[in-house]
Amino acid sequence: MSDFFSDKKVFITGGTGSLGRSLIKRLKSSGSSLVVYSRDEGKQALYFGQDKDVKTIIGDVRDYRKLKTSLLLERPDLVIHTAAMKRVDDMEHHPDECVKTNIEGSDNVARASLESDVSKCALISTDKACMPVNVYGSTKFIAERIFTNYNYNSNSTKFLSVRYGNVIASRGSFIPLWMDLIKENKRINITSLECSRFLFTLDDAVDTVLNSIIHSLGGEVFIPQINSFKMGSIIEAVKNISGKNGEDIPTKITGMRPGEKIHEDMLSITELPFSFLAPTHNLIQVRPQYSKINYQSDWPKYEGRELNSSLHINDDISHLVSLIKSGLE
């Protein structure tokens, strides 16, 4: 993997988030030249103010002129588009703002990348884009289609999307919050004990993104094959890690929040006919229904079921404890 990125300049939008910072750490170790484009000047200064290996640009993906100018001046080989508005319940009340960043901003990134002769441009998407029921997921679903369409009309830049699930210890993750509440013997609010979520670590998320970029021929959506867990099991694992095993923890079943699902989807049944297995890292490649590309002929068809979190539950608490500990390191 490192050889592919060793001589590349990588331009990352929204690079001050958990995934962005983890990508930067990995890419630095691979010898990449890095540019972070973000509207959060405070976090740029906090995370990269003393880092001579990372150039920072203050800018918003909503601002097409600034974005295109930045890309033309920097001339990156690769663009990784992580910038997004992603708080599900908040976006239900502010759909207009979500559209401006996640749809219009993604179109700006794609168009500016095409006009700047970027080699590959990757959209970081979400499991909530699969069969969406909320504003956030709907905007990401459209952003995926925007990237696929740009790829269809491009003779140079390759566009791809990468979906993933809940990342342990990422900004906004419920697991570190639960651990703090459990240690203080405070109440945990839960949608349902039967609610299930796909979980993986930041390292796995970075592997997924970088391997997808390496293997992409353009237009695909890449999806990791990862385990899902019930909320009841996650509570037990967090209690174990927090030294509260066997103790009663105050909980409240709150029911569904705006825009929430009981079970998440990563790969829909309608995408199965277009799904293939990449040779590394348990990746599924969903090929577009319309394309001019001859994709990898030696990649086998994915013959499994759709990826709904209720169908791929792992109830092994010891495995979950190890996964969470690994994610928190």
CATH of residue 107's domain is 3.40.50.720
Enter the DSSP assignment of 270.
Answer: G
Question: Residue 171 has what pLDDT?
Answer: 67
Question: Residue 2 has what pLDDT?
Answer: 59
Catalytic residue numbers read 128
Q: Is residue 16 part of a domain?
A: yes
Percent residues over pLDDT 70 in the chain: 98
Strand order in the sheet with 158-162: 54-58, 33-38, 9-13, 78-81, 120-124, 158-162, 221-224, 283-286, 275-277
Confidence label for 176 from pLDDT (cuts 50, 70 and 90)? confident
Q: Which two tokens stand for residue 120?
A: 């590959």
List beta partners, residue 57: 37
**Is the pLDDT score of 245 beyond 80?**
no
Q: Is residue 311 part of a domain?
A: no
The residue-averaged pLDDT of 221-229 equals 94
Burial 271-287 (b: 16+ CB within 10 A, else e): bbebbbbbeebebbbbb
Question: Residue 79 has what pLDDT?
Answer: 98
Task: Provide the domain limits for residue 64.
Answer: 2-165+201-213+267-306
Where is pLDDT greater, at 286 or 323?
A: 286
Q: What are phi and psi of 172, to 5 degrees?
A: 90, -5
Percent residues over pLDDT 90 in the chain: 68
Q: Is residue 195 part of a domain?
A: no
**Is the pLDDT score of 1 beyond 70?**
no
Q: Is residue 184 part of a domain?
A: no
* pLDDT, tens only, 93-123: 999 999 999 999 999 999 999 999 999 999 9
Q: Is residue 297 part of a domain?
A: yes
Number of domains into which the chain is organized: 1
Confidence label for 254 from pLDDT (cuts 50, 70 and 90)? confident
Continuous segment of H or E residues that includes residue 265? strand 265-267
Question: Residue 184 has what pLDDT?
Answer: 83
Q: Is residue 119 part of a domain?
A: yes
Q: Is residue 88 part of a domain?
A: yes
Question: Residue 12 has what pLDDT?
Answer: 97
Alpha helices of 101-173 — where are they, by DSSP H? 105-115, 135-153
List of residues 6+ apart from 194 with CB closer than 8 A:
230, 231, 232, 262
Question: Residue 178 has what pLDDT?
Answer: 85
Q: Is residue 92 part of a domain?
A: yes
Question: Residue 172 has what pLDDT?
Answer: 65
* pLDDT, tens only, 8-35: 999 999 988 889 999 999 999 999 999 9
Q: Give pTM, 2 decimals.
A: 0.94
Question: Residue 268 has what pLDDT?
Answer: 97
Question: Residue 93 has what pLDDT?
Answer: 95
Q: At what angle do helices 64-74 and 105-115 cross, to 10 degrees?
A: 30
